[in-house]
Amino acid sequence: MTTINTQTAFGLKNSAPQADTVKEGELRKACHDFESVILKQMLDTMRKSVPKSGLLNDDGYANKMYQSMRDDQLAKEMAQGKGMGLGEVLYKQLSGQTKAIGK
């Protein structure tokens, strides 16, 4: 007589870790998206601090819209990978990892 382990036969044993990795992936993405938002705010603030020369028409609606979309994409690209590290620190904090940063 052969016995069947019902946990492995129905895939119940492997379902919890897979769910955890999906949640961890979503959390990591949310943290990097948050870093992207922070970088976008930094770019907007830096752009406002630069005086306008008057050489180009910087006050046009189309120019402002294009500049905003460009800064948004630039912020997303800056947050990819390691980025500034803010997303990773936030992920470690929210996921309950208590490893010291920098070790």
Q: What is the pLDDT of residues 22-70, one digit of tens each?
A: 888 898 899 999 999 999 999 999 988 888 777 766 677 888 899 899 9
86-100: pLDDT as tens digits: 988 999 898 886 444
Assign 3-state DSSP to the chain and report helix, strand, coil percentages, each to 5.
70, 0, 30
Whether 67 maps to a domain, the answer reads yes
Q: Does residue 80 sit within a domain? A: yes
Residue range(s) defining the domain that contains residue 81: 37-44+58-95
Q: 69 in a domain, yes or no? A: yes
With CA atoms as reference, report the closest residue to 82 among 21, 29, 32: 32
77, part of any domain = yes
Which amino acid belongs to residue 38? I
Q: What's the domain count of the chain?
A: 1
Give a yes or no: residue 79 inside a domain: yes
